[in-house]
Structure 1
Amino acid sequence: MRSWLLLLGGLLVWAVHFFALYAVGSIFLTTDLARGLTIALTLVCLLVLSLIGRRAWLNRAPDAESDWIRVVALWGIAVGGIAILWQGLVALLI
């Protein structure tokens, strides 16, 4: 189970961020509260990604399976982080 959380952690955080921003945008529309919540959600999700990334980075073992899990997890975290930054950028532009 721990391996699956490492493998899918970045993408799961990205999905939570996406749906939370969709809810914020649907409920509060274009208010300043929506902008503040978007920035706060983005920062919280990036913090969670950094914690998962730290866990994946420190997951060093001599076997090939553990190394593969670490590399795939770090790539998923990188993709999730870029997507979260891209989605949160809207709050700074408007």
Structure 2
Amino acid sequence: MRRWLRMTGGLLIWAVHFIGVYLISSAADVWSSSEAASARWIGLAFSMGCLLADIAMAVWLSRGRREVFGPEAWERRVGLTGVLVAAIGVLWQTAPMAF
């Protein structure tokens, strides 16, 4: 299970971010307006938390033995690529809230 978490952890964070921002926006639309400042601040705080989780995941993946070869090195590269894609996705989904 840990091997799968190493490879897909960043993408799971991105999925949680997508669902969370959608739920925040939907709740804000029901209670007031999705353009309300409070909804934007909550969404931005949630997005920053997800971005920090991506950074923590990247640090966790980059630590360890550097001279590892074989499947473990491949899993690390896949995981780091997933974290990079996830961080870009989080930033891309956050941009409309910030402006």
The two structures share one fold, judged by TM-score above 0.5: yes
Q: Cα deviations across residues 29-77 of structure 1 (Å, max 9, x unaligned)?
A: 2211110011101110011111111111114352311100010000000
Which residue of structure 2 lines up, in the alignment, with residue 43 of structure 1?
48
Asked which structure has the greater CA Rg, the reply is: 2
Alignment of 1:53-92 (within 5 A): 53-60=58-65, 62-92=68-98
Query: Which amino acid is the alignment partner of residue 40 of structure 1?
Result: A
- The number of residues matched between the two structures is 93
Further displaced range: 74-83 or 57-66: 57-66
> How far apart are the structure 2 equivalents of 1:45 and 1:89?
14
CA distance in 2, matches of 1:36, 1:6: 31
- The alignment-based identity, stated in percent, is 34
Alpha-carbon distance in 2 for matches of 1:62, 1:35: 43
Task: Provide the aligned C-alpha RMSD in A.
Answer: 1.1
